[in-house]
Amino acid sequence: MSSTSSINPIADRLEQIWSTLPSSVRLIAVTKQVPVELMRAAYEAGVRDFGESRIQEAMTKQTQLADLPDITWHFIGHLQTNKVARALDLFQWIHSVDSLKLAQQLNQRAQERQQSPKVCLQVKLLPDPQKYGWTEAELLEALPELDRCSHLQIVGLMTIPPYGLSQDETLAVFRNTRRLAEQIQAQSWSHLRMHHLSMGMSDDYQLAVQAGATMVRLGRTLFGERR
């Protein structure tokens, strides 16, 4: 895309990845611990979606990248309820809404600020003590309350499979997540929509795409190993 791509360290990598992604799949460049110089290189190579998992780090970087006007910022980490207002200052998307309490706080703050952030509900369909997220049963029970969060645009599900699964098991997690989204979408909610599936990271995004991901969140495969 850019005339500087030949000296751009990640343009080739990006081209390669984009060429394998269906055009309907949005690539979120996950830039936690990635220096802003590399983020600029990604921007110059065409990236407009950046994902961060810490509020403080995102705040620092957004200040440093304030001259790049058309970035969409995605929050992908666990959000504490006392940082909800900050998150709404910084992010247009929140992929990781993992409790009713968090959804309701976001909804209330969004209403006060006349915002309507896009939100995904983070689910874990297999037990995983390392991860936040709704089990299927918890999510189904919370849906009526979530549907009343009319200042959130709840647009889909997000998931991270447990570490150490086989490819088949990982694919099954992604497929079951899609099925759950389809099941919810088939019910008649006023606000809830299930158009998006945020799933797939560097090691498993091809499987996620195979299962119907609409957003993949890629860090290491773009920027190299984190420190």
Ligand X SMILES: *Cc1c(COP(=O)(O)O)cnc(C)c1O
Binding site for ligand X (CB under 6 A): 30, 32, 53, 76, 160, 201-203, 217-221
- Closer residue to ligand X (CB): 113 or 220: 220
CB of 166 to ligand X, least distance (A): 17
Q: In the bound complex, what is the minimum distance in angstroms from residue 120's beta carbon to ligand X?
A: 11
Contact status, residue 117 vs residue 92, Cβ threshold 8 Å: yes
Output the smallest distance, CB 144 to ligand X, in A.
27
Cβ-based nearer residue to ligand X, 35 or 144 = 35
Q: Where are the beta strands (DSSP E) in the chain?
A: 26-30, 49-52, 72-75, 93-97, 118-123, 153-159, 196-198, 215-218
For the bound state, the minimum distance from the C-beta of residue 160 to ligand X, rounded and expressed in Å, comes to 6
Backbone angles phi, psi at 159, to 5 degrees: -150, 155
Query: Distance between CA 153 and CA 162 in Å, rounded?
Result: 27
Q: Helix, strand or coil for residue 135?
A: coil
Cβ contact 104:87 at 8 Å = no
Of the pair 94, 194, the CB lying nearest ligand X is at 94
Nearer to ligand X, 30 or 84 (CB): 30
Distance CA 64, CA 79 (A): 23
Chain position whose Cβ is nearest to ligand X: 219
Helix (H, G, I), strand (E, B) or coil at 3: coil
Q: Which residue has the tokens 């929509």?
A: 193
Give the nearer residue to ligand X in terms of CB position, either 92 or 111: 92
Yes or no: say if 120 and 156 are a contact pair by the CB < 8 Å rule. Answer: yes
Q: Which is nearer to ligand X, 95 or 178 (CB)?
A: 95
Min separation Cβ 141 and ligand X, Å: 24
- To ligand X, the closest distance from the beta carbon of 212 in angstroms equals 17
Phi-psi category of 38—alpha, beta or left, where left has phi over 0 and alpha has psi -120 to 50?
A: alpha
